[in-house]
Structure 1
Amino acid sequence: MSLTDVSGPPDSAPEPSTVEPPSGRPQRRSSPLAALLVRLHFYAGVLVAPFLVVAALTGLAYTVTPQLDRALHGDQLIVTTSGEQPRPLAEQITAARAAHPDGSLVAVSPGTADRTTAVVFALPELGDKQHTVYVDPYTGTVAGQLTTWFGSTPVTTWLDDLHRNLHLGAVGRHYSEIAASWLWVLALGGIILWWRRRATGRGRVRHLLVPDLSTGRGVRRTRGWHATLGVWLAVGLLVLSATGLTWSRFAGGNFSAGLTALDAARPTLSTSLTAAPVDGGGEHHHGGAPSPTAEPATFDRVLAVARDAGLDGPVEISPGEAGEAWVVAQTDNTWPVGWDRVAVDPDAGTVTARSDYADWPLLAKLSALGIQAHMGVLFGLVNQILLAALAIGLLCVIVWGYRMWWQRRPTRVDRRALVGAPPARGALRGLPWWALLPGVPLVAALGWALPWFGVTLLGFLAVDVALGLAARRRTGLTSVG
């Protein structure tokens, strides 16, 4: 039962109890390439589907984090009554410091509309997390405190870790990378196989997008639901796969290296106050080196300069170290996004550098937008609903896939089995040279760029070849006996 030894599609030799009635048209002879794709789709579906189930369930839970934040942390995040004029940032920061005297001040996000002001402190014992004090911008009173992770509340952080790594740290990130590495393969492979099966004669689009309910019960009807729903979900699944890979552990590293090599990465913002810019400066994150002279009144002055420079909407102010400019960055992640940044000299009150989203390279723009869409914030509630529908749809596709496997099982007394047999072997030997010549380097390149795709593919091959050799040996012993 080897992936490298395929001879036909999964329906080429059905068991007597699962023979499908004739369709009234001649059966298409499967090409070696199609047969190989059938076998790959089968094995990847059976073995990778559990990873996809976990990713879909945890992703589905993550889609409701905005509502959970309001329900669980609304007292800290939302003001009950919004006024017309917010209090000075200096007054709000002083109140936050009084409520939380420990730690270094690393960022301030001024409250807008019904949102509180977030004053972020770094503490060594929190590692990459921070302690955020929330202040009512209209009264200057402290609304509460939370331990956050790059602005995320505890519940959002917990669900994010669950989806990314199952709370297992770096080791757990392998599961999500495996799921993302194979999702696009399964989606594209399924579309190709369904197209070959259904796209003949008139009404080909309808045949692809609508299941044939006239087939009665059994594997054919299940396949119809499995395939047509997969076609409807295909674009969304491909986007989830691509965006998930961009910040995965290994494939994401290769992606970032590729953007750098193509000079398509997100531009850096220099925070140097000298003539020579500091390489890589300006990439401020919570928990970075704070300024020892981050006086509360300076935040008001820096914010005013940034507003005059055109940075409207929600922003985050990150104080620099002594002798460096401060960074003010727009943080509006909903469409149309606001991601412009400026570096401000806190003493002179001037803009020393800026980086506008409009000037980003195209790949950097697409990557950033894709990540926000993957997180369900780019289009607000609509984005959440679409992600939830994708997750539920993917779960249905997987359930129907396993159901087909079970429906194709032999049921005769002398040939009874728990599940159906895998597709037959023999396709690789029949592939023409012109398919193998580019195909092998292409698969090798994909395996290098997506390491978990390459490793698991080799694992599938090794295990399947071993099972095939064992089966041949058993057959040989039986014939000799």
Structure 2
Amino acid sequence: MSQPTPSFYNLAWRWHFYAGLFVAPFMILLALTGIIYLFKPQLDPLMYDHLLNVSPGHHRLSADTQLQRVQATYPQGHISQYLPPINPERSGQFVIHDGGRELNVFINPYNGEVLGEQDAKLNLQAVARALHGELMIGTLGDRLIELAAGWGVVLVISGLYLWWPRGQSAAGILWPRLSRRGRVLWRDLHAVTGFWGAALLLFMLLSGMTWTGFWGKQYAELWNQFPAAMWMNVPASDLEARTLNTATRQTVPWAMENTPMPTSGAHAEHMAHAGHSAGPAAPGVTLQQVFETATARKVEPGYSITLPTTAEGVFTIAVFADDPRNDATLHVDQYTGEVLADVRWQHYPTVARVTEMGVMLHEGKMFGSLNQIAILLVCLMILLSSISGLVIWWKRRPQGRWGVPPLRHELPTWKTGVLIILALAIVFPLVGASLIAVWALDRLVLIFRSTRQRERHS
């Protein structure tokens, strides 16, 4: 006897559970690490008061003097970045590579005292950021996060379809029935949270995916294009500015990631006299001069200065501002001090502006504490939705198995839903590839079960 063809509702049900079992652990991790990173402005001064806070003095040492003090403390270290104090009560910071470790070294800018160090990759915020972006396992982790986020979008769409009111009472859809207990209460919590939070969750997923290494990179290359004329008179390298960003440290804004890194224009003549074409950086301008350039160009406090590492390299002044309208990325010739590029908010294309605003809202930085509280509520909503979904599955799973709970009723196919799922598979290629794999596996499982049932009855 042939098996009945399952309706789209049944398929949506099955795939919603499949996706949920895969996505929920990632959503829980992303929500928890997101909360930690969300409150970085409050947590860092509490946890690292002895490193961050100083008593204001009358005279601040030059960046060069601070650099010399740090170099004297770490004679074998290589300094890659300088972060000037963001206000008179804060320390300066150098990023240094020493003995295979990357360290944040803090210095009192008034008396030159080296206040201490912090592991740049293993402090709380760095770990939270690395887990949030790539699970601390590099490219594979980035792809898994992207896949989970893409399937998260599928979850939201399929969830709305599954729980959309179809003539039943609004209780359990618009508000939870708190008088109920057990599976019904968990189901209500899951449904109501998803119903009211769908738009917010979609915003968090899509704004976060712009940073991913596959989809995010393709998105940037398609939509984030600067006029070619901006770089016509600037000697450019084969490197992109994204090389300055890492899983644990954000240097340049998202809008600048796919722009070319300039080269120091005087390096050809400089290296020709030296008899070779490549080598380590040998700046002709000082760190203090680059600092003064940032000051003269009115770059927002909170910026970093990345030092050149090769003879062709440049100093990069960059700030990924809480208000993206204050973003700035400047590349400075290491031999002449000439500003090769100075890109600000007004130079960003429209899509880059929208994306940057979305990212800052995602990180809770646009409107101070109000934005933080709003994103905290979204993170708590994600936690509740994920945990309640896992509880529902556990309570409804087939006895003794780990599969998808059976669905006892049929509904007509939702043609629009089919088109939406297909569109999502095209827009998010990793989701599309995994969707095909899950569909094939689902078919094989159903065929296997059907064959087993026929064998039992034969």
Tell me which interval the TM-score lies in, with the shorter structure as reference length. 0.7 to 0.9
1:369: Cα distance to partner?
4.0
What are the equivalent positions in structure 2 for 1:319-358 lying under 5 Å apart? Answer: 319-320=307-308, 322=311, 326-331=315-320, 333-335=321-323, 338-345=326-333, 350-358=338-346
What are the equivalent positions in structure 2 for 1:291-440 lying under 5 Å apart? Answer: 291-293=281-283, 298-320=286-308, 322=311, 326-331=315-320, 333-335=321-323, 338-345=326-333, 350-405=338-393, 421-423=405-407
Q: Tell whether 2:116 aligns with 1:144.
A: yes
Output the amino acid matched with 1:257. Q
Match of 2:221 among 238, 257, 260: 260
Aligned to 1:247: 211
How many angstroms apart in 1 are the aligned matches of 2:385 and 2:117?
A: 43
Q: 1 or 2 for the larger relative contact order (CA 8 Å, sep ≥6)?
A: 1
Aligned to 2:266: none
1:207: Cα distance to partner?
8.0
Q: 1:266 to 1:135 in 2, by over 3 A?
A: farther
How many angstroms apart in 2 are the aligned matches of 1:378 and 1:290?
A: 39
Aligned to 2:195: 231
How many angstroms apart in 2 are the aligned matches of 1:327 and 1:399?
A: 44
How many angstroms apart in 2 are the aligned matches of 1:102 and 1:474?
A: 68
Aligned to 1:450: 429
Tell me the TM-score normalised to structure 2 length.
0.75
How many angstroms apart in 2 are the aligned matches of 1:73 and 1:57?
A: 21
Q: Tell whether 2:24 aligns with 1:55.
A: no
Aligned to 1:285: 244
Output the amino acid matched with 1:467. V
How many angstroms apart in 1 are the aligned matches of 2:400 and 2:316?
A: 69
Aligned to 1:38: 13
How many angstroms apart in 2 are the aligned matches of 1:256 and 1:419?
A: 35
Identical-residue share of aligned pairs (%):
26
Q: 1:363 to 1:232 in 2, by over 3 A?
A: same
How many angstroms apart in 1 are the aligned matches of 2:229 and 2:52?
A: 30
Q: 1:222 to 1:391 in 2, by over 3 A?
A: same
Query: SS at the partner of 1:6?
Result: coil
**Contact 1:109–1:118 (CA<8 Å) still a contact in 2?**
yes
Q: 1:198 to 1:394 in 2, by over 3 A?
A: farther
**Contact 2:103–2:120 (CA<8 Å) still a contact in 1?**
yes
**Contact 1:58–1:163 (CA<8 Å) still a contact in 2?**
yes
How many angstroms apart in 1 are the aligned matches of 2:215 and 2:314?
A: 32
Runs of 5+ consecutive residues of structure 1 not aligned to the other structure: 8-32
1:107: Cα distance to partner?
2.4
**Contact 1:117–1:137 (CA<8 Å) still a contact in 2?**
yes
Q: 1:64 to 1:84 in 2, by over 3 A?
A: same
Aligned to 1:27: none
How many angstroms apart in 2 are the aligned matches of 1:467 and 1:340?
A: 54
How many angstroms apart in 1 are the aligned matches of 2:77 and 2:229?
A: 27
1:356: Cα distance to partner?
0.9
Match of 1:465 among 426, 433, 443: 443
Question: Aligned residue pairs: how many?
Answer: 422
Which stretch shows the higher mean deviation, 314-323 or 95-104? Answer: 314-323
**Contact 1:264–1:363 (CA<8 Å) still a contact in 2?**
no
Q: 1:146 to 1:478 in 2, by over 3 A?
A: closer
Root-mean-square deviation (Å):
4.1
Q: 1:406 to 1:300 in 2, by over 3 A?
A: closer
Aligned to 1:477: 455
1:360: Cα distance to partner?
0.9
How many angstroms apart in 1 are the aligned matches of 2:349 and 2:168?
A: 39
How many angstroms apart in 2 are the aligned matches of 1:57 and 1:312?
A: 30
